[in-house]
Chains A and B, each alone.
Chain A
Amino acid sequence: MTARPFRRISRFNVTSLALGLVFLYLPIVILVIYSFNASRLVTVWGGWSLRWYSEFFNDRAMLDAAWMSFKVAAVSATLATLLGTLAAVALSRGERFKGRTLFSGMLYAPLVMPEVITGLSLLLLFVALNAERGFWTVTIAHTTLTMCFVTVVVQSRLGKLDRSLEEAAMDLGCDPLRAFVSVTLPLILPSIVAGWMLAFTLSLDDVVIASFTTGPGSATLPIRIYSEVRLGVKPQINAICTLVLGLITVVIVAASVATKLTSARGESAAPL
């Protein structure tokens, strides 16, 4: 009798996996190829060209939006990483504390909460507080959303960590803060880096929450892309999308290298 017959991968397994990956990647590949199309007609291939890229770099409004998005993503990802890491530490090391259920509920709910609700409720808060809408309101909104993702990424790493390391440090005379900074923090650093990058890309991608919380004159790149896309396909948008995809790819590769450096295979890869 053959050993482990059910462990073996069948033709059906391979086919469904391959088809699934083709489905996920083909549209993106097509988009990237067409961004180098020389023809103004999106659907007619007119040879290779960088024409749409140079058009983007001469488009003042688009460049402003891209810069705005970049600033919002960098600042909100940093804030979100600080707050999210603190939250993860409290949840996984704080044992029981008052209001813990509410705390974790507030952190998990935004992960799935429809964006129209989050966006609308934050806008109503900003209006009630009489806050001027612009860079800071979008940044606060994105921090609120993305810190929850950071919390989950860091918390899942903390949960897998060997607690006896921290305990040994304290038995050897470290106070809790010192034990955390010199033992725990280096071990969870890859997940903190991954959390920052996830927060950055999520912020760079958001159109709904930004539309609610932004003010006149401070449109982000996704808001601009979105309003162009509603009017139809344009070759310049293909080029911008390819640039954004390139930036995100760099971020992902950096994140996965950072995570691979210390953590065991696969465990930190799940973003949720």
Chain B
Amino acid sequence: MSARRIFAGPARLAAIAPYLWMALFFLVPFGFVLKISLSQTAVAQPPYLPVFDFTQGLAAIKAAFAALSLDNYRLLVSDNLYVLSYLRSLVVAAVSTAILLLIGYPIAYGMARLPQRWQGIAMMLVIVPFWTSFLIRIYAWINILQHDGLLNQILLALHVVSAPVVWLSTDSAMYLGIVYSYLPFMILPLYATLAKMDPALTEAANDLGASPQATFWLVTFPLSLPGVGAGALLCFIPILGEFVIPDLLAGSDSMMIGQTLWLEFFTNKDWPVAAAVAVVLLVLLVVPLALYDRLQRRQLEAGR
């Protein structure tokens, strides 16, 4: 028996504590979300019915099960508010991901072209904003974009505009905030694939007479597709459920689904509808999450 196999046994035991923790605090809660999404809103504490009471015997539990209904889901389908929120989230997530790719790719490409000793520093510079508070970075933009903020002051001083432009509470501000916050998530996986690429490949294409453009589109870009996929998923999935950025930067006339969920939960105190909104959002995310899980697994376990 090799040493590697001997190690595997105790290493498996290490899984027990994190396994139980994630099962209890990540998996089980989805069961409660599902159950409450089938409940009725009530003026009570907690604000939903039925409440399962396992001390009341089997009949009471049966009655509680019978009281569950799909009413909240019917509401989601019939009320335009929800359908429009989901659609808006999908559009915002798709458009933002496309913009992020357009901006992030040249930056990652530039990083991969730097001399070796500069690459580590460039990478550090991209990672630092990822670590710094995301709320603070959004707030920094409010400073700049507000009515008498720096941007309008500069534009007025340069006589580009004659009156202050409304930037805050617009879709442009929201897209700016999203792109700004998620840029490191796009750059890092792209850089990781681009930096690993063998320069001999582009050299070969060049020797065979390909123009720089042709080399890029026929060699570099296709080889970087795994990075493109990883970056796109890392951005698309969380943006779909984004709450803080649209809440602070976008106008109030149309909402993303994260805002709708927040409103139902905190303002309307309608927990069952909020839970149903979450379940449908999860269903929308099943395919991208599965893709992301596969990518993550392949990437992390390649070294095994």
Contact = CB atoms under 8 A, between A and B. Distances in A.
Contacts of B285: 113-114
A17 B289 contact: no
Contacts of A147: 18, 21-22
B133 A266 contact: no
A149 B7 CA distance: 24
A46 B23 CA distance: 55
B133 A205 contact: yes
B249 to A, nearest CB: 11
Interface in A1-46: 4-10, 12-17, 20-21, 23-25, 27-28, 30-31, 34, 42-43
Nearest to A167: B3
Nearest to B153: A43
Contacts of B271: 124
A266 B139 contact: no
Given A31-B140, A116-B262, A121-B30, A93 B8 contact: yes
A214 interface: no
A229 interface: yes
B12 A121 contact: no
Contacts of A230: 247-248
Interface stretch (A47-55, A58-66, A155-163, A185-193): A155-163
A83 B143 contact: no
A37 to B, nearest CB: 11
Interface stretch (B63-71, B76-84, B236-244): B236-244
B136 interface: yes
Contacts of A143: 21, 25
A219 interface: no
Interface string A103-117: 111111111111111
Interface residues of A, number: 113
Interface residue SS majority, chain B: helix
B11 A93 contact: yes
Interface residues of B, number: 116
A1 to B, nearest CB: 9
Contacts of B172: none
Chain B CB within 10 Å, residue with most, of A93, A118, A152, A212: A93
A14 B112 CA distance: 11
Contacts of B202: 6-7
Contacts of B134: 205
B2 interface: yes
A90 B14 contact: yes
B19 A13 contact: no
B289 A270 contact: no
Interface string B47-65: 0000000000000000000
Given A116-B278, A167-B2, A271-B130, A87 B15 contact: yes
B304 interface: yes
A115 B125 CA distance: 26
Contacts of B237: 112-114
Interface string A155-197: 1100110010011001100001101100000000000000000
Interface of B: 2-15, 17-19, 21-23, 25-30, 32-33, 36, 46, 103, 106-107, 109-111, 113-115, 119-120, 122-144, 146, 148-150, 153, 180, 183-185, 187-189, 192, 199, 202-203, 206, 212, 215, 233-234, 237-238, 240-244, 247-248, 258, 261-262, 265-266, 271, 274-275, 278, 281-282, 285, 289, 292-293, 296-297, 300-304
Given A147-B22, A170-B7, 8 more contacts: A6-B215, A16-B107, A95-B8, A107-B18, A118-B26, A222-B135, A226-B135, A241-B133
Top 4 nearest A-B pairs (CB, nearest first) are: A114-B241, A159-B303, A17-B110, A90-B15
